[in-house]
Structures are given as C-alpha cells and as structure tokens.
Amino acid sequence: MQKIHLKIEGMSCGHCVARVRRVLEETQGVRVTAVQVGSAEAEIDPDRVDSMAVARAVSDAGYPASIAATRAA
C-alpha cells in the first residue's frame, strides 16, 4: 500500500467533503483515511490504481486535485 495526500481546490463545505469521500471510496484500490475541506488522505494499492488516476477521479468530480505527497504505507 502507498499513502497519498491530495491537495483539493473548490471545496467549501460538508457537502463537498462528502462528495470527495464518495468519489474516493468508489475508486478501486483506494482506502480513504481522511477528507477535509481542501485535502484528503488515502492509501492506494499501486497494483490496482496509480496516484494520478486518483487525483483525476476527484478532478473529474469537479474538484481540481493534485498529489501533494506520497509515501510507502
């Protein structure tokens, strides 16, 4: 597993947090550890998904996201 930290723009409320959490939870190979306004942390299975695909999924949901940090879990 690999830990990732996402920087996420456009989030301003609990609805945004819930939407991002749902998108992450629906992405295969992702286990969400935290979501708050402006950021999220998750563990990913690099054999199933790469960090850029996770950021792209959040961006596609309307919240521009980038990888702020990665590290081995």
- What confidence tier does 71 reach under pLDDT thresholds 50, 70, 90? confident
**Tens digits of per-residue pLDDT, 4-53?**
999 999 999 999 999 999 999 999 999 999 999 999 999 999 999 999 99
pLDDT score recorded for residue 9: 97
What CATH number matches the domain at 2-72, 3.90.1170.30, 3.30.70.100, 3.40.50.300, 3.30.565.10? 3.30.70.100
pTM above 0.95, yes or no: no
For the chain, give the DSSP string: -EEEEEEE-S--SHHHHHHHHHHHHTSTTEEEEEEETTEEEEEE-TTT--HHHHHHHHHHTT--EEEEEEEE-
